[in-house]
Amino acid sequence: MSPQIFCHYMVGGIQESQATIDVRQAKAIGFDAFALNIISTDPWSINAIAYLFQAAAAIGFHLFLSFDMTHFAEPSQFLWLLNMYVGSPAYYHFNSLPFVSTFYGGTLTFGLPLPQLGWHVKYKQALNAQGIDTYFVPSFSDSTTPPSDMYETYPVADGLMSWDSAWPWASEGKANLSCTTDEQYTSAAKAAKKTFMMPMSSFQFKHLDASQNWYRRGELALAERIPQVLSLQPDFLQIQTWNDAGESSYIGNVWPDTIGADCAAYTDDFDHTGWQALIIPFISAYKVGATDSSEVVPLKGTVATGVFWYRSILTTATCASDPLGKPNSWENAEDVVNVAVLLSAAAVGAKINVYSGEALIGSYEGVKGLNAWSIPGLQIGAVKVEVTSQSGSTILISGTGSMDVAADAGICNYNYQVMELK
């Protein structure tokens, strides 16, 4: 079986037509399934789930349920949903079992002495009593158990996911993305003869209220993850996320009906679909056995593809009229232009030139496969990237940011402008 790649999908109030668009696009990108993040069993959520399963079944795409345990007190609140959907032709199965995940839940006991016992009795045994067995791969990243001991601590799990290793912690400062935690999970999974689901993401920025105002470092994290995934070869990879506008990590559609005005204030005009220019060739290469980033090349018939991303305000901005002020850990952000370019063998030696405020802040000679840099020198004005032939006589792909960089703004928006090079 080729590597299995999922995308985390925040279930919100959507229309039937929007569900159809999302699953069609996800299948075209190369995802094997959406991991449906469930936070509620209210009618708006139940309707959205129904739309998604209906749309997925119609085109041969797959979905699985991932229960957000910051919103549920007991498995009994959602087990009936599994009963309803595990028999759907659109439900994703692994080892002939319906696949189920969570967001957190590693500290919940459900009234029993230990979390392991709580999940065994209230989830596994409760489902078994209904004739249902699942392939259970929760993300118990909220547990303080070291990765090396996770599989021994939670034998109820068939595999585990490390949600939080997709980004550096605030305490790490201006750190590049490490895969140490993922390596520890991988080793422990192999020793236990179980599986590991590795996360991949761009960054986090949330700016909703005093308790939800943070920046979790991105910069080049999305591109840095590619060689890590190719090296570790996890059993499953989950990209976080398709549509989490609240935390700004979306790579797909953000439907206006699903987000509130506070969230829209920092996501409107911040389209992230440009990241798909990097993700699609990566998935294509990974699925056919790539083990090195030099093998992640543009799709057939294309010599170069790429994307760049930057913030539209400088880190020196005060945002004096923003009642929330700067996000927590803003100091881990940098005034940079992040660039990821994929080159075919025919384009080796191409020049990648990066401009900010009309000044050339970086110029590089590209190699085959993935080329990625986080280039300091972001300044007021337009951002532009050009990829030219080695002689400089032909522009292969280029792009100009749709929003100029400003010295300050009314809102401390640390969301990214993401631009595909075309």
Helix/strand/coil (H, E, C) string of 44-106?
A: HHHHHHHHHHHHHHHHCCCEEEEEECCCCCCHHHCHHHHHHHCCCCCECEECCEEEEEEECCC
Token duo for residue 355: 């401009």
Contacts of 188 (CB under 8 A, 6+ apart): 147, 148, 149, 150, 151, 196
Domains of the chain, first to last: 4-295 (3.20.20.80), 304-421 (2.60.40)
Instruction: Give the per-residue pLDDT at 271.
Output: 97
Instruction: Give the per-residue pLDDT at 55.
Output: 98
Token duo for residue 221: 């994290």
Instruction: Give the per-residue pLDDT at 262.
Output: 86
Closest CA to 176 of 44, 334, 287: 334
Token duo for residue 327: 């996000």
Instruction: Give the per-residue pLDDT at 85.
Output: 98
Instruction: Give kind and range of the element (H or E) at residue 421.
Output: strand 416-421
Contacts of 204 (CB under 8 A, 6+ apart): 167, 214, 215, 216, 218, 247, 248, 249
What is the model's pTM? 0.96
Residue type at 55 in one-letter notation: A
Sequential pLDDT tens for the chain (422 residues): 789 999 999 999 999 999 999 999 999 999 999 999 999 999 999 999 999 999 999 999 999 999 999 999 999 999 999 999 999 999 999 999 999 999 999 999 999 999 999 999 999 999 999 999 999 999 999 999 999 999 999 999 999 999 999 999 999 999 999 999 999 999 999 999 999 999 999 999 999 999 999 999 999 999 999 999 999 999 999 999 999 999 999 999 999 888 878 899 999 999 999 999 999 999 999 999 999 999 999 999 999 999 999 999 999 999 999 999 999 999 999 999 999 999 999 999 999 999 999 999 999 999 999 999 999 999 999 999 999 999 888 999 999 999 999 999 999 999 999 999 99
Strand pairing class (33-38; 63-68):
parallel
Helices 221-232/180-192 angle, 10° precision: 30
Q: CA 311 to CA 418: how far, in whole Å?
A: 9
CA 211-212-218 angle, to 5 degrees, is 135
